[in-house]
Amino acid sequence: GTTGRGNDMQIGTYVEKLFLTELSGNVIDLCPVGALTNKPYSFVARPWEIRKVDSIDVLDAVGSNIVVSTRTNEVLRILPRENEDVNEEWLADKSRFACDGLKRQRLVAPMVRMPNGELQAVEWEGALIAVAKALQKANGQIAGVAGQLADVEAMVALKDLVNRLSAEHLATEQDFIKGSGIDVRS
């Protein structure tokens, strides 16, 4: 069911819990009358104004089939594309709403945490100085963490940096196949 009206409407279970799941955005596609809309996309463009491009989602390991809706080289929304062998007609919220971060809700300047705990926007030079000071204080007690989308060159550069700072710890979000000949040392 729902609570609230208009912009304040939230879908819930009537048991004091909101509808929280990694697939909750699919409710938009399931609504038979179009009353539930994608808030960042609502009333931004008409269907005849957008160009639809079939693509593959790179934000999950499934490789979900998607349709990217664009207008004048701007990504407006991402929808699932039906493929019974991969994702059927479902799409994770992370992928569905990722385009919101391409233009809105984006950091536009480096930020440094001040002594009072507040984040403050600074110039790049100030941010790099703050990072250098923090790394000097770390005294080898650091770790490098590589995300799933990091390429090999970036991982090697990260490993070299970690080693130069007298540390050996490197973590990845990707599980590597265990076998002979696999080595991520640089």
pTM over 0.75: no
Integer CA distances (angstroms), 115 to 77, 112, 118, 119, 132, in order: 39, 10, 7, 9, 17
- Per-residue pLDDT, 19: 62
- Per-residue pLDDT, 53: 92
Distance from chain centroid for Cα 146 = 14
Strands 169-172 and 143-146: parallel
Q: What is the mean pLDDT of residues 30-34?
A: 75
Confidence of residue 120 (pLDDT cuts 50, 70, 90): very high
Amino acid symbol at 76:
L
Is the model's pLDDT at 153 over the cut of 60? yes
- Average pLDDT over the chain, rounded to whole? 81
Residues 80, 81, 82, 87: what is their CA dihedral angle, to the nearest 10 degrees?
Answer: -50
Overall size of the chain counted in residues: 186
